[in-house]
Amino acid sequence: MKFFVDTADIDAIRDLADTGLLDGVTTNPSLIKKAGKDFIPLIKEICEVVSGPVSAEVAATDYATMSEEGKKLAGIAENVTVKVPLTPAGLKVCKELSDNGTMVNVTLCFSANQAILAAKAGAAFISPFVGRLDDIGYEGMALIEDIVAIYDNYPLWSTEVLVASIRHPQHILESARIGADVITCPPDVIKKLYGHPLTDNGLAAFVEDWKATGQSIL
């Protein structure tokens, strides 16, 4: 399973990229606003730090403007993935860009029916939002199960299931069990995967025992 980080914080991206565990980055208008930097230069900088897909989202909602924005974003770097909303206009742009060799991430997916449309439009990634479904009383991970199962029925479809709106490590674990292709989540959620009290306690005991030997490796 690929790990994408959902942030526009260049320092956090560099920190995770240094671990060698980061496969890509997703951004959205809200994350760009939070970063407080100019959009185009920031995406270019992120693409220089991360060799994998970097999602940059269009701002328009109509087809014509969205199409032009998508083409401009695709020209920033070879690893840019143009992010479009799951709307009729967004899927039209997805088909157009995908046919021209541009990776497209179709976002704001909340149903398996929508995911089918995205695959038909040639999306490189479909982004179902599990956390937002959980927030309104639905089981977000059930949607991931449905999409993965449907996509498995059609091996000629190349769309990858990118689990988004992840709130906690359990979402990541369940995504891996189901067989999702990618997860994207905030840096702090990725870092929580490291933690376990038995690891901390065991390391503390080893450190103390080593000190007691009076030895040094170097």
95 in active site: no
DSSP states of 158-211: --EEEEBS--SHHHHHHHHHHT-SEEEE-HHHHHHTT--HHHHHHHHHHHHHHH
Q: CA-CA distance, 72 to 59, in Å (whole number)?
A: 12
- Tell me how far apart the alpha carbons of residues 216 and 218 are, in angstroms, rounded to a whole number: 6
User: Among the options 83, 120, 191, 211, which is catalytic?
Assistant: 83
- As a whole number of angstroms, the distance between CA 4 and CA 21 comes to 9
Q: Which residues are catalytic?
A: 83
